[in-house]
Structures are given as C-alpha cells and as structure tokens.
Amino acid sequence: MQLQGKRVWITGASSGIGEATARLLAEEGALVVLSARRRDKLEALATELSGQGAEVHIEVVDVSDRAAMAAVGERLAALGGIDILINNAGTMPLSPILSGRVDEWEQMIDVNIKGVLYAIHAVYPGMAERKDGHIVNISSVAARLTYQSAGVYCGTKHAVRAISDTLRKEAIRFGVRVTDIQPGSVDTELPDSIRHDKIRSAVKDNMYAEGSPILKPEDIARAVLYVVTQPAHVDVSELLIRPLIQEN
C-alpha cells in the first residue's frame, strides 16, 4: 500500500495504459480520479475498483475542452487537491502530411498538447501552493524520434517532452516533481484511432508481427508506480521503455 492517502488523477483511464495504471495505483491504496470521454468504461472500472475497496471518482470530460477541464480542476480542488497527475489521454490518427487531414492534425494538437496543458493547469497551482505534487506526462518514444506518417503525432509528443522538462525546472522551487514517460509499442486501442485505412493496417502489421511481443499496458503501469514511489528528493525526469524487439 505505497500510495495510501494519495489522490491521483489519471486522464485517459477508460482503456490501455490509463486503465492499467488506475488498477495498479488503486491496488496500492491511492484514491483514483478516472477521467475520459466514455462514461460506460469509466463506470465499469470504478465499480470494479471500488468493489476491491478503492476510493474512486469519475470525471467524464474531453481533455481538449478548456472550460470543462477548468471545471474539473475546481472540483478536484474541492476534493482537497490532487497529489499525482498521470497525464495520459492521447490520440494518434497517423497519415502522411501530403494527405492533408487537417482536422486530424488539429485533433492531435488539441488532445495531445492542449489537453496535457489543461490538465497541468487544473492541478499545478494547487500543488505549488501546497509545495508538494507530482506530474507524470505520458509522451512516447515519438517524443525523441520521428517516423513517416507520424509527423504531427511526433510533433505533439516532442512538445510534451519539452513542456515536461521546462515544467520540471520551474517546479523545483515548489517541491513539485515532473516525469516524462516515453513508451515504445504498447498493446492498446491506440492504433484504432488511425483513420487512414492503409496506414492503420501497416501500423498494426508492424506492431503485431508474428513472434514480436510488444509491451502490455501493465508494463507501463509498473513504470508509473516506480516513478511515483521514489523518495521525495528523487525526480525520475524521463523514462524510455521499449519492447525488447523494438529497434527505433
């Protein structure tokens, strides 16, 4: 029970990495606030976790909705504030830039960059005031590298990494820690957000090539648990985690 008494907000908790992280952190005694757009998924997870004795709150919210995220921030402050934010919600509608899917570019920027900032803005002032807190952003190996058809996605993840490291420096004086976790390929619903048919099947073929085990969401959840349970003087600034078989 390493997180007894801690209040943790996990964005994108309705599936994949966020869901696995919610399970593990709740098991460790945290009060978990689960947010995403799919109410049914959040409710099912909340029922499961509270059945195991966890304290769970749900926030159905689109992270790209600035006003709604500010309202979540106010409700969380009324709850006593958030100790740990797992800034995880993201989307990946990949396509070559020439295909000009401008709406999808904007969606990635709105969710992966602005959504991350809105969540930070919702909890960081309270953390700074209390001189305690931890913000864990889930970027990607795509925060370090670039891949064809992933120009905008990589751009958003590079931005998250840059924001994380800047925030880390600014937050030191407030005793607030910042970590950027960079997963390689993880077996989640993420490739289903690719609406370009050819690219979606190419990405899935590549991720799920026979005999090539990729990461499970639980592998990243354990990394999250590791970073948030270090002694107060330790800041794990970045963590890059690939499946053994992934070269780039």
Ligand X SMILES: NC(=O)c1ccc[n+]([C@@H]2O[C@H](COP(=O)([O-])OP(=O)(O)OC[C@H]3O[C@@H](n4cnc5c(N)ncnc54)[C@H](OP(=O)(O)O)[C@@H]3O)[C@@H](O)[C@H]2O)c1
Question: What are the residues binding ligand X (CB under 6 A)?
Answer: 12-18, 36-38, 41, 62-64, 88-92, 111, 138, 140, 183, 185-186, 188-190, 217
Q: Which is nearer to ligand X, 133 or 217 (CB)?
A: 217
Q: Which is nearer to ligand X, 81 or 90 (CB)?
A: 90
Structural tokens at position 191: 């490739």
Give me the least distance between CB of 142 and ligand X, in Å please. Answer: 7
Pick the catalytic residue: 118, 124, 147, 153? Answer: 153
70: nearest Cα among 20, 10, 124, 136: 124
Per DSSP, which regions of the chain are E strands?
A: 7-11, 31-36, 56-60, 84-87, 133-138, 176-183, 238-241
Q: Is 153 tagged catalytic? A: yes
Give me the least distance between CB of 238 and ligand X, in Å please. Answer: 13
Q: How far apart are CA 21 and CA 105, in angstroms?
A: 27
Q: Which is nearer to ligand X, 14 or 31 (CB)?
A: 14
Phi/psi region, residue 91 (left: phi>0; alpha: psi -120 to 50; beta: rest), is beta
Read off the amino acid at residue 61: V
Q: Which is nearer to ligand X, 67 or 232 (CB)?
A: 67
How far CA 172 is from CA of 61, 135, 138, 168, 225, in Å, comes to 30, 12, 20, 6, 21
**Residues with a known catalytic role:** 153
